[in-house]
Structure 1
Amino acid sequence: MLILKNGTTVQFAPCRVEEGRDIAIEDDKIVAVGTHLAEQYPAAECKELHGKLVMPGLVCAHNHFYSGLSRGILAPIPPSPDFISTLKNLWWRLDRALDEESLYYSGLICSLESIRNGCTAVIDHHASPNLIKGSLNILRRGFLDAGLRGMTCFETTDRNFGMKELEAGVEENVAFARLIKAEYNSSPLNKLVKSHLGAHAPFTLPDAGLELLRQAKQETDLGLHIHVAEDRYDVSRSHDLYGMDPILRLDQFELLDEKTLIAHALWLSPDEITLLNERQAAVVHNARSNMNNHVGYNHHLARYQLAALGTDGIGTDMFEELKFAYFKHRDAGGPLWPDSFMRMLQNGNVLLERNFGQRFGQLAAGYTADLTICDYSAPTPLQAENLAGHLAFGQSSSSVHSVMIAGRMVYEDRQFPFDVAPLYASARKAASRLWKKMGDIA
């Protein structure tokens, strides 16, 4: 047993700030939160926190770890005046250039940086059209080598090689689900990563693809993770080819339920929003990505019953994502205050609960010991009533001191338990080779 002594415990929902608290942890669970716990558990190891903030782990609810080696990219990228040309000229060339080495280092570095930024879990969405079979297990290796909790899936689509590609994408999702099920109980480490069903977007999924995904969902009982209405093009193409809104089309194939993750959802109709809420599906808001791709602003955030925050591949700094989400909302004339975005951050743990079958997101007995520990020195009183204001206007990922995942310190006193410098050196070499390959792809 481990006792974290004398911390300032922080919860987002219900919002709470309490000083001088101890947290007792055994295996991967919190067993008690209170005062003087060392007296109750005299054989426990104790770590003194000296008042540091202890909060439930931060979750990035939508990311693309395959983009981890794109930072500062020097591959020749043609002018890309709109969203579709950006996809074709940059991202769809990068994902076609990925091989086993570049994918592994991309996933590993993203996992390490997630932890360093205070994330305890990331929900990933993967694409590598020339490396489909086995690609999800390569990503899983990066998660496990870093000690990060998460989920991943393959982005089913027909955009490169037609139905052959689409069928291979579904097969990879199902094969990975079987692998996870077979190995899940073989070790505590293997319990960190779960699977779900991935799909790119309705505009690159014919009805035959949605039918295959429906069959895969029935076989695996997994949820669908898909981009919808990130750009107006997705909506107009759905109207043109299928005569209906994209969310209604997904529902026709029974792909909407409480495990469904809809990324972006900028241009949904009121009927679609109502349907998503009825199906208890989640929407993941990616403020910085939307701004970067100039796709517009989601004015419907207040209408979703369950909205979480993601980055869509722009790093894993959820402190920064919360700030951008709030400030862009205010810039767009939105009515929400920082507490609404703090709840969206908390909702990442709700998504984990729906998929892992464990309790997340609270500092209480019986909850999973995924913790973010910070040494934020508040210049003004820090209390439940103004915690969201401190997150939006003060605290940042630079305050992250330690990270615990499943009861194990994977990052402590701003250090990993292994030397990461050689890993970053290898990643830089892999990135250079990846960029060169991109230059050879038309």
Structure 2
Amino acid sequence: MLILKNAMIVEFSPPAVRNGIDIVIEGTNIIEVSPGAAEKYKAETIIDLKGSLVMPGIVCSHNHFYSGLARGIMANIKPSPDFISILQNLWWRLDRAIDEEILYYSGLVCSLEAIRCGTTAVIDHHASPAYIKGSLRVLKQAFEETGLRGITCYETTNRNGGMTEVEAGIEENVEFAVLCDKDKRDSNNTHLVETMIGGHAPVTIPDDALLLMKEAIDETGRGIHIHAAEDRYDVSYSHHVYGKDVIQRLADFGLINEKALIAHGVFLSDNDIELLNKSDAYLVHNARSNMNNNVGYNTKIPQYKNFALGTDGIGSDMLEEFKFAYFKHKDIGGPLWPDSYLQFLFSGNNLLERYFGANFGKVAKGYKADLTIFDYNSPTPLLEQNIGGHIAFGLDSRDVDTVIINGKVVLKNRQFTFDVKPIYDNARKAAQRLWDKMDT
């Protein structure tokens, strides 16, 4: 049993601030939240927070852990004037160069940095065309060794090997789903890692591949995780080749449901948005990535029923992503205020609930004990009405002190519970080898 005494609890949805509260954790769940609750129990560990701020778990709802060793990349990258050339000259060369060791260390450092930033769960989207079979198990290992909660998948695509590559990607997703189901049965619901059925983007997924993805969804009970309308080219290609809007094409194959996660959606039509809303599906916005790739801005954010935030591989610092997303929205004259972005930050927890079959996103009895503790000395009153404003203009990942995931302390007093230096030493070697492979 773990007890957190004298906490200031700050929740996102609905916004709430409570002072002087004790949090009692048994196993992976919160069993009581109330003033003075610590006096009722005998616990192995008691942490007196002395009024420190406790938030429910923060989720990065779209990420690419395979890109973790691309930071400062020194490979020979040709000038890339548009999004397709960025993919061809950088990312599709990088993912083809990934092998098991490179993926392992990329997954480890990305997991560590997510935790260090106060992120308790990451929804990952993976690609390594030269190492498909077994790749998701490697990412699972990285999640579990660091203690990070995650959902991952392999992005089905035909861009390197036609239908042979498609079938290998589908097989990897289905086999990994079977493994996750086994974990869930065998671990008394303490498992950390789940899966989706991944797809790269409609532009590299022919109709035959969409049929196979639907079969995988039916077989596994999962939903799709796919990029769509990240760039205008994806939309134009769908209209030219298939005569359909992007989401309409996916929906015609039965791929849009309450477990579907669509990343980006910068250029989705009003009809596509209506399809997502009616299906209770999710759109994940990646503001920094969109800015970095100069693909444009999603001007239709207020139209979405379910809307969450991700990073698309630019780290896992969701408090920084919150700020960029909000300020970019205001920069283009958007009508939303920080309280809307607080809801977007919370929404990833709803995605977790749909896959783990447990309660996430609140500091309350019966919820998973995924918590972030901040050493945040606010210079102004912190109230339920202004939580979003504190995140937009003050609270930062530098304030993260302790992180608890699945009831386990994985970061305490800004330090991991194990030596991470060898991991970073080996990651740098793996990164150099990755860069060298890209140029050979």
TM-score, normalising length: structure 2: 0.99
Separation (CA, whole Å) in 1 of partners of 2:155 and 2:45? 44
Letter in 1 for 2:340: S
Matched, 1:246 2:246: yes
| 1:41-80 matches, cutoff 5 A | 41-43=41-43, 45-80=45-80
Letter in 2 for 1:77: I
Q: 1:29 to 1:306 in 2, by over 3 A?
A: same
Q: Is the 8 A contact 2:116 2:414 kept in 1?
A: yes
Letter in 1 for 2:284: V
| 1:106-121 matches, cutoff 5 A | 106-121=106-121
Shift of 1:44: 5.8
Q: Give the unaligned 5+ runs of structure 2.
A: none
Shift of 1:182: 1.9
- The equivalent of 1:101 in structure 2 is 101
Q: Is the 8 A contact 2:8 2:19 kept in 1?
A: yes
Give deviations 1:317-371, integer Å, cap 9, x for gaps.
0000000000000001100001111100000101101111000001110000000
Shift of 1:310: 0.1
Q: Is the 8 A contact 1:38 1:44 kept in 2?
A: no
- The equivalent of 1:311 in structure 2 is 311
The more displaced of 29-38 and 275-284 is: 29-38
Separation (CA, whole Å) in 1 of partners of 2:248 and 2:120? 34
- The equivalent of 1:187 in structure 2 is 187
| 1:246-395 matches, cutoff 5 A | 246-395=246-395
Separation (CA, whole Å) in 2 of partners of 1:188 and 1:330? 45
Separation (CA, whole Å) in 2 of partners of 1:160 and 1:123? 24
Q: 1:287 to 1:114 in 2, by over 3 A?
A: same
- The equivalent of 2:125 in structure 1 is 125
Give deviations 1:67-122, integer Å, cap 9, x for gaps.
00000000000000000000000000000000000000000100010000001100
Identity across matched positions, percent:
60
Q: Is the 8 A contact 1:140 1:193 kept in 2?
A: yes
Shift of 1:190: 6.4
Separation (CA, whole Å) in 1 of partners of 2:395 and 2:47? 23
Separation (CA, whole Å) in 2 of partners of 1:131 and 1:369? 34
Separation (CA, whole Å) in 2 of partners of 1:185 and 1:295? 43
Separation (CA, whole Å) in 2 of partners of 1:189 and 1:421? 32
Give deviations 1:249-294, integer Å, cap 9, x for gaps.
0001000111000000010111111111000000000000000000
Shift of 1:188: 6.3
Q: Is the 8 A contact 1:144 1:189 kept in 2?
A: no
Q: 1:329 to 1:387 in 2, by over 3 A?
A: same
Matched, 1:20 2:20: yes
Separation (CA, whole Å) in 1 of partners of 2:85 and 2:169? 23
Give deviations 1:13-39, integer Å, cap 9, x for gaps.
110111111101110111111111122
Letter in 1 for 2:267: W
Letter in 2 for 1:121: A
Q: Is the 8 A contact 1:197 1:222 kept in 2?
A: yes
Q: 1:43 to 1:349 in 2, by over 3 A?
A: closer
Shift of 1:3: 1.2
Give deviations 1:167-204, integer Å, cap 9, x for gaps.
11011100111111123333369600001100000000
Shift of 1:41: 1.6
Q: Is the 8 A contact 2:23 2:38 kept in 1?
A: no
Separation (CA, whole Å) in 2 of partners of 1:240 and 1:197? 26
Secondary structure, counterpart of 1:334 in structure 2: coil
Q: Is the 8 A contact 1:185 1:191 kept in 2?
A: no
Secondary structure, counterpart of 1:330 in structure 2: helix
Separation (CA, whole Å) in 1 of partners of 2:163 and 2:39? 64
Secondary structure, counterpart of 2:140 in structure 1: helix
Structure 1 stretches of 4+ with a deviation exceeding 4 A read none
Letter in 2 for 1:56: P
Shift of 1:43: 5.0
- The equivalent of 1:221 in structure 2 is 221
Separation (CA, whole Å) in 2 of partners of 1:45 and 1:108? 27
Q: 1:350 to 1:138 in 2, by over 3 A?
A: same
Separation (CA, whole Å) in 2 of partners of 1:184 and 1:32? 25
Separation (CA, whole Å) in 1 of partners of 2:205 and 2:269? 20
Letter in 2 for 1:87: L
Letter in 2 for 1:156: T
- The equivalent of 2:147 in structure 1 is 147
Separation (CA, whole Å) in 1 of partners of 2:206 and 2:422? 44
Separation (CA, whole Å) in 1 of partners of 2:242 and 2:39? 66
Separation (CA, whole Å) in 2 of partners of 1:193 and 1:215? 22
Q: Is the 8 A contact 2:28 2:190 kept in 1?
A: no
Q: Is the 8 A contact 2:403 2:411 kept in 1?
A: yes
Secondary structure, counterpart of 1:314 in structure 2: coil
Letter in 2 for 1:393: F
Letter in 2 for 1:319: L
Matched, 1:427 2:435: no
- The equivalent of 1:237 in structure 2 is 237
Letter in 1 for 2:303: R
Letter in 1 for 2:224: L
Q: Is the 8 A contact 2:190 2:406 kept in 1?
A: no
Separation (CA, whole Å) in 2 of partners of 1:272 and 1:38? 50
Shift of 1:42: 4.0
Q: Is the 8 A contact 1:144 1:190 kept in 2?
A: no
